[in-house]
Amino acid sequence: MTFTIFNGSPRYKKSNSQTLTEQFLKGYHNQGKTEPVKICYLARASQLAEHLEAFRQAEEVIIIFPLYTDCMPGMVKEFLELLPAAGNKNPKKLGFIVQSGFPEAIHSVYVERYLEKYARRRHYHYLGTVIKGGVESIRSMPPSMNKKLFKQFRELGDNFARTGQLPRELMQQMRTPLKMNAVGRTVFRVISLLGLPDMYWKKMLKKHGAYHLRSSRPYAP
Ligand SMILES: Cc1cc2nc3c(=O)[nH]c(=O)nc-3n(C[C@H](O)[C@H](O)[C@H](O)COP(=O)(O)O)c2cc1C
């Protein structure tokens, strides 16, 4: 089976999608799978034709991307729109991993509906969508804090190598909390009043010289 992973993060190899893919592949190769897995980076827009060809040749495909404004980065949408529909004979296996900054999985449930419908309408063999929230924090956490998450991704890869499927039970565990409970919401309200959740993103804007653009409305009439 030719297995190809498409990374849909604009951050290319410095992305959380890359970190999670590496963990997935550790688990995958644990199962004695020696054939190399091709990884295509959609951020390399100039290689779009190669990416489309890699998709055509693959028998198993996983597309991993970050949730962007409750949906997907534009490059992922463009890629999906360019993919051909599968033939009826031996349809390609297609699965998705959507990972996001907010801890609540519910934010990704809407794009999941799209992905499922997309796969069905294009006659792919839909493997399901893994949803994982709270992922941006892995960049600032000490490795010990990421142990559980990385183990889950290794288990996904291990399972995929053994069965060719994404394990439902583990996927269900991973998409928690679906919504924060009352205590979580109260704590979040308090830290929001203190401006703590914004601090990280403001730091990023400053780092990239875009702080002065934070209230821009490029599509406003
Ligand atoms: C432009 C932009 C929009 C985002 N929109 C959301 C969002 O709607 N919901 C969410 O939970 N996280 C959102 N995030 C956070 C990313 O999903 C999160 O940081 C993810 O782990 C980034 O993965 P990557 O490093 O692979 O790109 C957004 C981040 C950016 C930069």
The residues, any chain, with a CB within 8 Å of residue 22's CB and separated by 6 or more, are none
Q: Is the CB of 100 under 6 A from ligand 1?
A: yes
Q: Is the CB of 99 under 6 A from ligand 1?
A: yes
DSSP 149-199: HHHHHHHHHHHHHHHSS--HHHHHHHT--SS--HHHHHHHHHHHHTTHHHH
Q: Whose CA is nearest to atom 4 of ligand 1?
A: 68
Structure confidence by residue, pLDDT tens digits, 141-192: 888 999 999 999 999 999 999 999 999 999 999 999 999 999 999 999 999 9
Report the separation in Å between the CA atom of 68 and the middle of ligand 1, taken as the mean of its atom positions: 5
Report the separation in Å between the CA atom of 21 and the middle of ligand 1, taken as the mean of its atom positions: 16
| Domains of the chain, earliest start first | 3-179 (3.40.50.360), 180-221 (no CATH)
Atom of ligand 1 at shortest range from CA of 11:
27
Q: Whose CA is nearest to atom 27 of ligand 1?
A: 9
Find the length of the chain: 221
Predicted confidence band of residue 53 (pLDDT cuts 50, 70, 90): very high
Distance separating alpha carbons of residues 203 and 174, to the nearest angstrom: 29
Predicted confidence band of residue 32 (pLDDT cuts 50, 70, 90): confident
